[in-house]
Amino acid sequence: MSSVETRTRPARSRTVPIGYDKHMMLTSGRASGELGAKIADRLEMDLTDAGLKTFSDGEVYCKYGQSIRGADLFIVQSLCGNEREGLTVNDALMELLVMVHAAKHASVHRIIAVTPWYGYSRQDKKSAPREPITARLVAEMLETAGIDRLVTMDLHAGQVQGFFSRPVDHMTAMPILTQFVKDRLGDESDELVIIAPDAGRVKLIRNFARKIGVPYALLEKERPAQGLAEIGYVIGDVKDKVAVIVDDIIDTGGTLRAAAQTVLDEGASRVYAVATHGVFSGAAYETLADSPLTGIVVTDTVPPRDGAPENIQVLTCADILTDSVRRIFTDDSVSEIFAGENQLF
């Protein structure tokens, strides 16, 4: 009778040590230093120094001041200029790419780019022959550099999310802006009307108006060239009403000023404007200071330049972004912040 040899299996070692916890780190580029500091303060943690500097020839350098190995690293950087730091939008983009690439080669666990203002988002399609789709190019550069996830806010066009093969968390400033309108103009809700600046924003404005419980109207607009818009007329009743124009971006301010004047010409008593991104490029401050707008409200996705006129107010989006960062780190639902209403397109 043959004997059967019994072999004892060696004990399997644990793949993850007992008590192991992943850890989060937060850093920011120079375009969004103030916003990054606000988020870090709300998370009760310190910003990790990215060691950013610009050489005399204009090249960007990054060297993290401490080990980031194994961390979920959140990099806060809007793709915008920062006058105080001497950065252009292209400087901010290159800086973010360098920060991501440095982190990838420092063996982080995940790299999450927190980019509230996604620069180049208005170049989202070919509207004429021989044009680039630069919003897609930026997405490809960020993924090549090494991001694992993107957090952004109120994209100009929904298809930008489709330019990424990695997850995109789309935040919205709608809760901040609707609450401001309720607090500031709630006593006049019977006379309030929300204005869509063009047909592409109707879905957004319908939701905005529904949350406040007021009607909405639409501005008819044509754009004969980049940066130039011609306002036609108002579709809807604005006579003797307090009008609030809601948009995603305020750039040079010329279109907004013309829109406000058109609404007043149609009989509105006062006109306000609220938007997520206050880019305010060129002579925007002078244009808006000279406009008939009673008040303008934006968030700090783009750092405001010095010298803003008195009719511009800046609200922070740090609370929403902090909640988003916390939920991404703990693998919780991000859309629950907005009850699933953050897909506005």
How far is residue 259's CA from residue 231's CA, in Å, rounded to a whole number?
A: 6
Q: Which residue has the tokens 């109707």?
A: 202
Angle at 76 between CA 75 and CA 77, to 5 degrees: 110
Tell me the two tokens of residue 256.
């907004």
User: Which residues on neighbouring strands pair with residue 111, listed in sequence order?
Assistant: 73
Out of 22, 63, 203, 221, which one is annotated catalytic? Answer: 221
Q: Where are the alpha helices (DSSP H) in the chain?
A: 33-42, 89-104, 134-145, 174-185, 202-212, 254-265, 284-289, 318-329
How far is residue 79's CA from residue 31's CA, in Å, rounded to a whole number?
A: 7
- In which order are the strands placed within the sheet that holds 312-315? 228-235, 216-225, 192-196, 242-250, 270-278, 295-299, 312-315
The reply to whether 221 belongs to the active site is yes
Q: 154 near 115, Cβ under 8 Å?
A: no
How far is residue 96's CA from residue 172's CA, in Å, rounded to a whole number?
A: 22
**CA-based radius of gyration for the chain:** 24
Contacts (Cβ under 8 Å, ≥6 apart) of 322: 38, 39, 42, 43
Please choose, from the candidates 177, 247, 234, the residue with its C-alpha nearest in 3D space to the C-alpha of residue 205. Answer: 247
Catalytic sites, residue numbers: 221
